[in-house]
């Protein structure tokens, strides 16, 4: 038989378990039976019932039932589950018992059952099979009562109590999942043809010995193939499956591209190991690497070696460095880079210049077109920039009390954009307002922050007049928070998705706040504050929550760069909120805290700059001389923090580039602006 799973007797389990047997019944009726296996490793001494047949699984986890009959399984009086019909592999996994997809090994009930069964194994080694002693079954019945009880009624406390009464140690949830993942991978791998390993030493001292066959590589329950891709900077637990038992000694796994392989463990026909390809600095422009793992293992007396390959996603490889026509330094408080679906706009406030780049050009660097204001050449022109498909806006917050320049964008001849422009200043401008500290233009709306208006800040909303942009100022609506906002820096950061507006007030009540407004009518006669967000955690005061904000159709992202953690001053953090479109107040509930992979680093100021685009969020830092300056998160991932990719904002040998002054993403391309030399680094996803 072709054995694939560890069992008590032989550490193996049959993968071909259909036994065609005719059983006679009274009256001459016959029926065909089939033999299956109950498994998280083979599970022995569990009761099964199928029609008129009942019994207990043997040490190999085997049971025999009429073909096609429903099967119930019990441990004492506890019904652990049932299946209406077995899968084609004739294996019943824990997931099958609970009616859960086999890939969902992180399901709460599945993990509880895996913990219970693995913890009660009589020899405390589930890698060689699980056997439930009579004492363990008696304790289960004593706990739940003699009347049949369904497993779904049990809680985590029940599991802890049962395991404790059995004088056993509770297997951790992580270990239980790893074991179940390996079991599931082995079941999925059974019957695959595989590629024979070539003998490395040509020795054969055992009669009948032959080289093992490497069949599959799995990440949890997902098979990895040549076209599969893992991510740089993420740690994975992988499992190799063979067609023979592998000796526990003499196993080695090496990486062609320099990844680390560690914590190697052998169980029956499987080798599990931890894989990590760390972030490095590359000069290549490829966004994927081809990994080749060289594997050496022995089965019996034959030592064999082979290799297998798959892809590694590495955004750092896709880096394009743009040297701006003027390369003076920028500032960490600037918001001088913005991406829409086709173009990037970059400001250089030290030079009072702005350029637009075509992201779809063959040579992006040479596509730069300068956007010049006919009104100003000073006052930090280019400190804040934004553009959509129709308009360009540039903030100049230090020219008097501040001003902005609005351009009508010409995508056919970008330089013509300079021909249709107008200056806009607020109707109540004061000399120290810093009007234009942040700007955003989208869907015909223009929003301008003035974080020092009357000492507390103010924000301005306009509906752009497409027929004559000079008339745009006439639609001005002033936004102020409902509560007192003196010294709040309201308007420090602004953004919109065309329906909602978010405004950061990074000094509100010393720690910061974010305000959300609803655009209720296109003529701006109905704009209302619908939500206020405050810091989910306050660590040391002066948190600067709302220093940077971003909004997409589904998310709000808020930076808190002065967030302290465990004594690490200004480590920084960011908070991701999912917008509840049915009840906006629920948006404040349960935000995801984004944390950089490097963990707790003083003065990192993570959240100093950020952006949302498509399914991605990018968050930058203000850490001088750091190799990694920004982190890209996949918002569609089950674990958003685990999905992050570290992006350097400079060449490793050029620390003079400095920190990420500004970051931006459109979901397909991400950009980082280096503070000291002003370079822009683009990463194609």
Percent helix, percent strand, percent coil in the chain, to nearest 5: 15, 40, 45
Q: Work out the pLDDT band at 212, boundaries 50, 70, 90.
A: confident
8 A C-beta contact, residue 468 and residue 459:
no
Residues 101-119: tens digit of each pLDDT: 988 888 999 999 999 999 9
Most distant pair of Cα atoms in the chain: their distance: 104
Q: Is residue 342 part of a domain?
A: no
Average pLDDT over every residue of 596-610:
77
For residues 54 and 108, state if they share a domain. yes
Q: Given this model, what pLDDT does residue 185 score?
A: 78
Q: Given this model, what pLDDT does residue 32 score?
A: 85
Q: Given this model, what pLDDT does residue 3 score?
A: 43
Beta strands in 525-668 (DSSP E): 527-533, 549-551, 555-560, 573-578, 592-594, 609-613, 616-620, 630-634, 645-647, 660-665
SS3 325: coil
For residues 232 and 111, state if they share a domain. no
| Residue 338, H or E segment | strand 337-339
Q: Is residue 338 part of a domain?
A: no
Q: Is residue 284 part of a domain?
A: yes
Q: Which residue do the tokens 């009347």 mark?
A: 147
DSSP string, 240-252: EEESSPPPSSS-E
Lookup: tokens for 603: 């003065």
Average pLDDT over every residue of 309-313:
79
What distance in Å separates the CA atoms of residue 76 and residue 63, rounded to the nearest whole number?
17
8 A C-beta contact, residue 547 and residue 608:
yes
What distance in Å separates the CA atoms of residue 295 and residue 178, rounded to the nearest whole number?
21
Q: Supply φ then ψ for residue 218, to 5 degrees.
A: -125, 145
SS3 495: strand
Q: What percent of the chain is predicted at pLDDT more than 70?
A: 83
Lookup: tokens for 465: 């007049």
What distance in Å separates the CA atoms of residue 646 and residue 308, rounded to the nearest whole number?
26
What distance in Å separates the CA atoms of residue 174 and residue 172, rounded to the nearest whole number?
5
Q: Given this model, what pLDDT does residue 429 score?
A: 95
Q: Is residue 290 part of a domain?
A: yes
Q: Supply φ then ψ for residue 574, to 5 degrees.
A: -140, 150
For residues 170 and 52, state if they share a domain. yes
What distance in Å separates the CA atoms of residue 108 and residue 308, rounded to the nearest whole number?
34
Residues 315-359: tens digit of each pLDDT: 655 677 787 776 565 666 778 899 999 999 999 888 889 999 999
What distance in Å separates the CA atoms of residue 405 and residue 381, rounded to the nearest whole number?
9
pLDDT at 209 exceeding the cut of 80: no
Q: Is residue 172 part of a domain?
A: yes
Q: Given this model, what pLDDT does residue 129 score?
A: 87
Q: Is the dihedral of CA 77, 83, 86, 89 positive or negative?
A: negative
Q: Given this model, what pLDDT does residue 665 score?
A: 96
8 A C-beta contact, residue 610 and residue 631:
no
Nearest alpha-carbon partner for 558 in 571, 568, 580, 573: 573
Contacts of 70 (CB under 8 A, 6+ apart): 50, 51, 82, 83, 84, 85
Contacts of 109 (CB under 8 A, 6+ apart): 98, 100, 151, 152
Q: Is residue 554 part of a domain?
A: no
Q: Is residue 416 part of a domain?
A: no
Last residue of a domain, one of 164, 188, 212: 188
Supply the range of the domain harboring residue 114: 21-188
8 A C-beta contact, residue 251 and residue 297:
yes
Higher pLDDT, 224 or 285: 224
Q: CB burial class (10 A; 0-12, 13-18, 19+) of residue 252?
A: exposed
Cα distances from 319 to residues 196, 316, 620, in angstroms, run 39, 6, 16
pLDDT at 207 exceeding the cut of 60: no
For residues 154 and 48, state if they share a domain. yes
Q: Work out the pLDDT band at 487, boundaries 50, 70, 90.
A: confident
Nearest alpha-carbon partner for 132 in 43, 42, 56: 43
What distance in Å separates the CA atoms of residue 206 and residue 209, rounded to the nearest whole number?
5
pLDDT at 584 exceeding the cut of 50: yes
Last residue of a domain, one of 313, 332, 351: 313
How far from chain centre, in Å, is Cα 393? 33
For residues 167 and 217, state if they share a domain. no
For residues 206 and 78, state if they share a domain. no
Mean pLDDT across the chain: 84
For residues 41 and 178, state if they share a domain. yes
What distance in Å separates the CA atoms of residue 577 and residue 554, rounded to the nearest whole number?
8
How many domains does one find in the chain?
A: 2
User: DSSP H helical segments within 126-203, as ranges?
Assistant: 134-144, 156-165, 173-189
For residues 170 and 233, state if they share a domain. no
Q: Given this model, what pLDDT does residue 193 score?
A: 38
Min mean pLDDT across 85-99, 481-495, 555-569 is at 555-569
Q: Is residue 160 part of a domain?
A: yes
Average pLDDT over every residue of 536-547:
88
pLDDT at 86 exceeding the cut of 50: yes
Q: 140-154, 355-369, 437-451 — which one is most confidently predicted on average?
A: 437-451
For residues 208 and 179, state if they share a domain. no
Tell me the pairing of strands 549-551 and 555-560: antiparallel
For residues 66 and 169, state if they share a domain. yes
Question: How many distinct helices (H) and strands (E) make up the chain?
Answer: 5, 50
Nearest alpha-carbon partner for 571 in 598, 547, 605, 618: 605
DSSP string, 396-440: ETTSTTBEEEEEE--SSSGGGGGGSEEEE--TT--TT--EEEEEE
Nearest alpha-carbon partner for 439 in 402, 467, 410: 402
CATH of the domain at 209: 2.60.40.1220
What distance in Å separates the CA atoms of residue 62 and residue 173, rounded to the nearest whole number?
26
For residues 154 and 299, state if they share a domain. no
Nearest alpha-carbon partner for 387 in 434, 348, 335: 335
SS3 335: strand
Last residue of a domain, one of 296, 313, 330: 313
DSSP string, 88-149: TT-EEEHHHHTT--TT-TT-HHHHHHHHHHHHTBTTS-GGG-EEB-HHHHHHHHHHH-SS-E
Tell me the pairing of strands 21-24 and 78-83: unpaired
Q: Supply φ then ψ for residue 108, to 5 degrees.
A: -60, -45
Higher pLDDT, 580 or 379: 580
Residues 240-288: tens digit of each pLDDT: 988 888 998 889 998 877 789 999 999 888 999 999 887 554 334 456 6
For residues 266 and 304, state if they share a domain. yes
Higher pLDDT, 673 or 554: 554
Min mean pLDDT across 139-153, 409-423, 659-673 is at 659-673
User: DSSP H helical segments within 190-234, as ranges?
Assistant: none
Residues 166-177: tens digit of each pLDDT: 999 999 998 898
8 A C-beta contact, residue 326 and residue 356:
no
What distance in Å separates the CA atoms of residue 391 and residue 421, rounded to the nearest whole number?
10
8 A C-beta contact, residue 386 and residue 338:
yes
């Amino acid at each position: 038989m072709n054995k694939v799973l560890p069992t008590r007797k032989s550490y193996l389990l049959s993968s071909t378990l259909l036994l065609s047997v005719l059983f006679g019944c009274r009256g001459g009726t016959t029926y065909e039976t089939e033999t299956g296996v109950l498994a998280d490793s083979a599970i022995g001494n569990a009761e099964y019932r199928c029609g008129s047949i009942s019994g207990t699984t043997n040490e190999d986890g085997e049971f025999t039932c009429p073909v096609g009959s429903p099967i119930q399984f019990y441990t004492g009086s506890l019904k652990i589950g049932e299946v209406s019909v077995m899968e084609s592999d004739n294996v019943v996994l824990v997931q099958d018992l609970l009616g859960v997809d086999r890939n969902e090994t992180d399901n709460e009930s599945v993990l509880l059952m895996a913990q219970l069964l693995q913890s009660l194994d009589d020899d405390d080694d589930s890698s060689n099979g699980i056997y439930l002693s009579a004492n363990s079954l008696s304790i289960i019945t004593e706990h739940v009562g003699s009347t049949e009880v369904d497993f779904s009624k049990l809680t985590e406390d029940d599991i802890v109590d049962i395991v404790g009464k059995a004088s056993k140690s509770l297997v951790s949830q992580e270990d239980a999942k790893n074991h179940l993942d390996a079991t599931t991978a082995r079941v999925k791998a059974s019957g695959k043809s595989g590629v024979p390993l070539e003998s490395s030493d040509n020795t054969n001292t055992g009669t009948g010995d032959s080289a093992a066959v490497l069949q599959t590589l799995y990440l949890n329950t997902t098979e990895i193939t040549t076209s599969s891709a893992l991510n740089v900077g993420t740690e994975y637990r992988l499992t190799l499956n063979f067609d023979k038992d592998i000796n526990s000694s003499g196993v080695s796994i090496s990486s062609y591209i320099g990844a680390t392989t560690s914590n190697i463990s052998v169980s029956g026909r499987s080798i599990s190991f931890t894989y990590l390809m760390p972030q490095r600095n590359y000069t290549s422009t490829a966004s994927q690497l081809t990994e080749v793992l060289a594997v050496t293992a022995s089965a019996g007396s034959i030592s064999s070696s082979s290799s297998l390959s798959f892809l590694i996603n590495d955004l750092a490889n896709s880096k394009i460095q743009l040297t701006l026509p003027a390369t003076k330094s920028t500032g960490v408080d600037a918001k001088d880079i913005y991406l829409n679906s086709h173009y990037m706009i970059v400001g250089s406030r030290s030079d009072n210049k702005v350029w637009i780049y075509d992201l779809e050009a063959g040579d992006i660097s040479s596509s730069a077109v300068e956007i010049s204001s006919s009104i100003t050449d000073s006052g930090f022109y280019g400190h804040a920039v934004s553009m959509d498909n129709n308009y360009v806006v540039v903030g100049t917050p230090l020219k008097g009390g501040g001003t902005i320049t609005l351009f009508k964008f010409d995508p056919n001849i970008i330089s013509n954009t300079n021909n249709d422009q107008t200056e806009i200043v607020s109707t109540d401008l004061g000399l120290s307002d810093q009007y234009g500290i942040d700007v955003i233009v989208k869907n015909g709306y223009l929003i301008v922050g003035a974080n020092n208006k009357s000492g507390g800040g103010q924000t301005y909303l306009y509906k752009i007049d497409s027929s004559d942009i000079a008339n745009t100022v006439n639609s001005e609506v002033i936004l102020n928070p409902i509560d007192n906002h003196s010294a709040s820096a309201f308007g420090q950061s602004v953004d919109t998705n065309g329906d909602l507006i978010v405004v950061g007030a990074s000094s509100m009540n010393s720690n910061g706040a974010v305000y959300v407004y609803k655009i209720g009518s296109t003529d701006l006669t109905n704009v209302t504050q619908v939500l206020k967000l405050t810091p989910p955690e306050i660590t040391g005061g002066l948190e600067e929550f709302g220093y940077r904000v971003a909004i997409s159709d589904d998310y709000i992202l808020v930076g808190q760069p002065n967030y302290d953690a465990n004594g690490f001053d200004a480590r920084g953090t960011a908070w991701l909120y999912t917008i509840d479109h049915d009840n906006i107040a629920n948006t404040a509930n349960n935000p995801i805290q984004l944390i950089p992979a490097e963990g707790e680093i003083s003065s990192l100021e993570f959240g100093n700059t950020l952006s949302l685009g498509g399914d991605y969020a990018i968050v930058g830092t203000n850490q001088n001389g750091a190799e990694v300056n920004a982190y890209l998160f996949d918002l569609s991932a089950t674990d958003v923090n685990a999905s992050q990719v570290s992006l350097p904002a400079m060449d490793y040998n050029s620390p003079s580039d400095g920190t990420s002054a500004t970051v931006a993403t459109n979901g397909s391309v991400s950009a980082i602006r280096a503070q000291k030399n002003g370079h822009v680094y683009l990463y194609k996803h």
